[in-house]
Amino acid sequence: MSMVKPVVSPRVLLLCSMFVSACGPPPGAEVVARLACANAGIGCPPPEPEPELPEQWSGSCRYVNRFSDGTECRDYLGPWEASAATEDCSTEQGTFSTTERCDSINATGWCVINKDSATPVRVAFVGGTCTENRRGCEVFGGGYFMERGACGPGEPQPEEVLTAPFPEPVQSCVDPLPGDAPGQGEGGKVCQAITMQGCTEPGRAWEDYGSCDIPRQQRPYYPVGLHENAERDDSRLNDATYAAELAWVKQELTACSCFCCHSERSPQGPGNWYLEQRGNFINGMFDTGIAQGAGIIDSTVLGNIPASENNGFTRLPSVFPSTNPSRMQAFFRAEFMYRGLRDEDFTGLVKYGPLSEQWNYEPTSCTNGEGVTQDGSMTWQGGSARIVMVLEAGARNPLVPPNLDTPDGTVWRLDATQPSTRLLASGLRFGESPAGSAQHFPAAGAPSSLVPGTQYYLYVLADYVQPITRCLFTY
Ligand code: HEC
């Protein structure tokens, strides 16, 4: 009896592309066509009638799929010889049973392998989403996907959970500390945007009024050492004008969430420069940091908050938020000159990894039925989503909140209401908000209708900065 191929989940598409032998032959045109349907939603009718499976049951095998890390359970149907079934199970390093059937599990779909043979195998998926498991079954396992358990008709699709979702900015208003002056907010409260780039009122400290929980989850945080000789004696500190300007820079940054990872109190140590450093703290910065402060390396992709919503602080061209951006830039421009650096060594330097890559991404045409059809149904690849957007062709690529995530030219944006979930499934309808989601743009009312014959940009994200589909389609 031939061994049954393992069912590879699309979670390991990447693994597959590296170890092609693990994945079996590429899917045929018929499977690709079926997938377009599968991607349009769970209720998609099976293109072939469901196979009639033998009633006889010869045992089961529980195991962890070594490609997907997902738990699976397979029933051996028909007259399997005990030795063949146990041998198949041992290749999966599973536990063979002649008493516990897999069909008692509330599976996320079943996958029938060798459906036309007298001894088919029926795999019950545990976990994953219906769309993923269907794709794993049909594309990689060459099997027949049966909509059972949590993937049965009418069942809500299980949510995909993001383990470290990108947190949305929140607004906080707190009472002034005892002895501090009343704040500018209602009832004398001190208000601030809790996010990267967020700042409390000038002269106050982020440590006293802000919070680091959100900013620390919005970009990678890890300790990085200082520039060489950072703590040296710096004679410029004896120059009253210079010292006053440096004190102003430090006070401005003390008011902002930069404190969270740029302080001696950052839990794993500062990410390079830090406010309390002995001597002149900007000596701890590398030349690239100074070039960002001077606006020579463009830091637009990090996002920004307008001064009117950030206690008067804003950034750009300097990377550092301040109540006076040109003064901040001039300070770092002077430092840039002092270090003898040259513009041409920094201009055009791509500094921000995936942010820069996504900002400059040039979309190509949609394939595999991705896009919005005349009846409004939307199709994308890559699993479920936290954010779904339709933009005018030529709009900027969406990036981070609060100013780059809904660019000009956005026609419609839908978000999952819980940031930790990716429950927006391909197949939803343009302009409609299924349960668990909320329209983000436009703020109220229906989006502008799509114009037939016009090209649009479909941008679907598993999370901020994690696009899963980016392509142009003609409506
Ligand atoms: C969540 C942690 C975190 C927060 C919050 C944070 N940073 Fe950083 N920052 C880092 C880390 C880590 C590094 C180390 C090097 C790197 O990854 O670029 C760094 C490095 C830098 C550098 C030096 C980069 C270079 O190329 O030399 C600058 C400038 C900088 N941050 C500015 C800011 C500003 C301005 C803020 C506030 C608006 C801020 N950071 C907030 C984590 C953070």
Structure tokens at 473: 């389609």
Query: N- to C-terminal Cα distance for the chain?
Result: 51
Helix (H, G, I), strand (E, B) or coil at 410: strand
Tell me the CA–centroid distance for residue 164 and ligand 1, in Å: 20
Cα 209 to ligand 1 centroid, rounded to whole Å: 20
Q: Pocket of ligand 1, candidates 200, 219, 249: which has the most ligand atoms within 8 Å of its Cβ, to mutate?
A: 219
Q: Where are the domains positioned within the chain?
A: 10-157, 170-351, 357-474
Q: So what's the pLDDT on residue 339? A: 97
With CA atoms as reference, report the closest residue to 3 among 92, 88, 121: 88
> Cα–Cα distance between 447 and 270 in angstroms, integer?
45
Mutate to test the pocket of ligand 1, among 207, 261, 285, 350 (most ligand atoms within 8 A of CB): 261
Q: 228 C-alpha to center of ligand 1: Å? A: 18
Going 431 to 435 to 439 to 440, the CA torsion angle's sign is negative
Which residues line ligand 1 at a C-beta cut-off of 6 Å? Answer: 196-197, 215-216, 219, 221-222, 224, 256-258, 260-262, 271-272, 285-286, 288-289, 292, 319-321
Atom of ligand 1 nearest to the CA of 320: 35
If one residue of 252, 253, 258, 286 were mutated to test the ligand 1 pocket, choosing by the most ligand atoms within 8 A of its CB, it would be 258
Q: Ligand 1 center to residue 176 CA distance, Å?
A: 28
Q: How far is the CA of 233 from the centre of ligand 1 (A)?
A: 24
The predicted structure's pLDDT at residue 48: 75
| 236 CA distance to ligand 1 middle (Å) | 25
* Separation of CA 319 and ligand 1 centre (Å): 9
Instruction: Output the CA 5–ligand 1 centroid distance in Å.
Output: 48
HEC string of 215-251 equals HHHCCCCCCECCCCCCCCCCHHHHCHHHHHHHHHHHH
Compute the distance from residue 271 Cα to the ligand 1 centre, in Å.
Answer: 6
Cβ contact 257:212 at 8 Å: yes
Residue closest via CA to ligand 1's atom 35 equals 320
Burial profile 207-224: b = 16 or more Cβ within 10 angstroms, e = fewer: bebbbbebbbebbebeee
Return d(Cα 169, Cα 310) in angstroms, integer: 12
DSSP 449: P
For the beta carbon of residue 27, count every other beta carbon within 10 angstroms: 17
Choose one of 224, 262, 290 to mutate for the ligand 1 pocket test, by most ligand atoms within 8 angstroms of C-beta: 262
Query: Which atom in ligand 1 lies closest to the alpha carbon of residue 319?
Result: 35
CA pseudo-torsion sign 128, 364, 141, 115: positive
**Residue 270, C-beta contacts closer than 8 angstroms, at least 6 positions apart:** 223, 224, 261, 262, 263, 264
For residue 133, the model assigns a pLDDT of 81
Q: Which atom of ligand 1 is nearest to the CA of 197?
A: 38
**What is the number of the ligand 1 atom nearest to the C-alpha of 297?**
26
Q: What is the residue type of 264?
A: E
User: Please, are residues 188 and 176 in contact by the beta-carbon 8 Å criterion?
Assistant: yes
From the CA of 388, how far away is ligand 1's center (Å)? 29
Q: Helix (H, G, I), strand (E, B), or coil: what is residue 320?
A: coil
Q: CA 338 → CA 284, 327, 334, distances in Å?
A: 15, 17, 6
pLDDT value at residue 157: 56
Q: Which helix (H) or strand (E) holds 354?
A: helix 353-359
Q: How many angstroms does the Cα of residue 318 sit away from the middle of ligand 1?
A: 13
Top mutation candidate among 272, 275, 331, 355 for ligand 1, by most atoms within 8 Å of CB = 272
Nearest-angstrom CA–CA distance, 251 and 334: 19
- Pair of tokens at residue 99: 């008493």
**Ligand 1, atom 38: closest residue by C-alpha:** 197
CA proximity to 421, closest of 67, 72, 145, 156: 156
Strand partners, 385: 424
* pLDDT score, position 159: 58
Cβ(307)–Cβ(313) below 8 Å: yes
How, if at all, do strands 371-372 and 71-77 pair? unpaired
Residue 348 Cα to ligand 1 middle (Å): 19
Residues 471 and 362: their CA atoms lie apart, in Å, by 9
pLDDT along the chain (475 residues), means of 10: 39 32 42 45 55 94 80 94 95 93 86 94 86 77 86 67 82 96 97 97 98 91 92 97 98 98 94 96 97 96 97 97 98 98 89 87 93 94 91 97 97 91 87 93 97 97 90 96
